[in-house]
């Protein structure tokens, strides 16, 4: 073995990784937040809408799910500004892309959750005189949330990992920081080991937190 591990250079540039991780989290949180709004609104609309609206929403979901994220990132960052007169920074462009991307996945999660709410509960809501809007807010959404939390956790963690794609348009998130250190120190094994560990720990921490929330909700079933 001619290769001796040496982490010194990694620690010297660790601020690139740490700052990168924080930016990754920021990108994920903002995109997921917007994605949740898109997903919820479209899912609620879908289950109560007619054929045309359903077809349009389904087309959006299918389009996003069948195109690789990296292509969407290129399209939005390089393609869109050349067609329409728009100017945005790389992070903004990526948040826009990931929001629309996560929205499509979350529509599916929320839609299946809404459809899984037992009919009897909706009947009970009707029977006490709740209006459709009240039934949605006080009966359907709370139950849907309980049903979808496990799937939701998986989607959130997936989306967090997807922020690494932002490196292809030079957004200085965690993977980009790792690449920078690699180019400047050639400690390829060390830097990617450390980076992998950082994704792993963060992802696991998210999972743990979400499981806690799930357990709280499950107790309240």
Partner 1 sequence: MSEASNATPALLDVRDVSKAFGAVEVLRSVSLQVKRGEVVTVIGPSGSGKTTLLRCVNFLESYDSGSIRIDGKEVGYREAGTRQRRSERDLAAMRAETGMVFQSFNLFPHLTAAGNIMLGLTKVRKKSEAEARQAAEHWLGRVGLAHKADSLPAELSGGQQQRVGIARAVAMEPKILLLDEITSALDPELVGEVLAVVRSLAEDGMTMLMVTHEMAFARDASSRIVFMADGGVSAVGPPKEILAADTANERLRTFLARFRASHF
Residue from 19, 142, 150, 203 touching partner 1 (CB under 8 A): that is: 142
> Is residue 4 part of the contact set for partner 1 (CB under 8 A)?
no
Window 120-139: residues binding partner 1 (CB under 8 A): 120-121, 123-132, 134, 138-139
Which CB, 47 or 188, lies closer to partner 1?
47
Per-residue binding letters, 83-122, with partner 1 (x by CB under 8 A): -----------------------------------x-xx-
**Count of residues near partner 1 by CB under 8 A:** 23
> Is residue 220 part of the contact set for partner 1 (CB under 8 A)?
yes
Which CB, 52 or 220, lies closer to partner 1?
220
Which CB, 65 or 126, lies closer to partner 1?
126
> Is residue 146 part of the contact set for partner 1 (CB under 8 A)?
yes
Neighbours of 175 (CB within 10 A): 22
Which CB, 143 or 164, lies closer to partner 1?
143
Q: Which residues in this chain contact partner 1 in the complex, by CB under 8 A?
A: 118, 120-121, 123-132, 134, 138-139, 142-143, 146, 217, 219-221
């Amino acid at each position: 073995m001619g290769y001796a591990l040496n982490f010194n250079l990694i620690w010297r540039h660790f601020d690139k990784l740490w700052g990168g991780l924080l930016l990754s989290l920021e990108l994920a949180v903002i995109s997921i937040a917007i994605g949740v709004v898109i997903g919820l609104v479209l899912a609620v609309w879908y289950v109560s809408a007619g054929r045309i609206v359903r077809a349009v929403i389904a087309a959006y979901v299918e389009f996003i799910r069948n195109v690789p994220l990296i292509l969407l990132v290129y399209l939005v960052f390089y393609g869109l500004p050349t067609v329409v007169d728009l100017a945005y920074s790389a992070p903004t462009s990526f948040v826009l892309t990931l929001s629309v991307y996560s929205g499509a996945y979350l529509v599916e999660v929320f839609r299946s959750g809404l459809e899984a709410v037992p009919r009897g509960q909706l009947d009970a809501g009707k029977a006490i005189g709740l209006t459709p809007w009240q039934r949605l807010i006080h009966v359907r959404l709370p139950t849907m949330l309980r049903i979808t939390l496990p799937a939701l956790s998986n989607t959130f963690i997936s989306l967090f990992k997807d922020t690494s794609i932002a490196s292809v348009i030079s957004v200085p998130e965690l993977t980009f920081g790792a690449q920078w250190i690699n180019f400047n120190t050639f400690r390829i094994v060390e830097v990617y080991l450390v980076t992998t560990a950082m994704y792993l720990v963060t992802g696991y921490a998210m999972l743990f937190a979400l499981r806690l929330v799930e357990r709280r909700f499950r107790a309240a079933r």
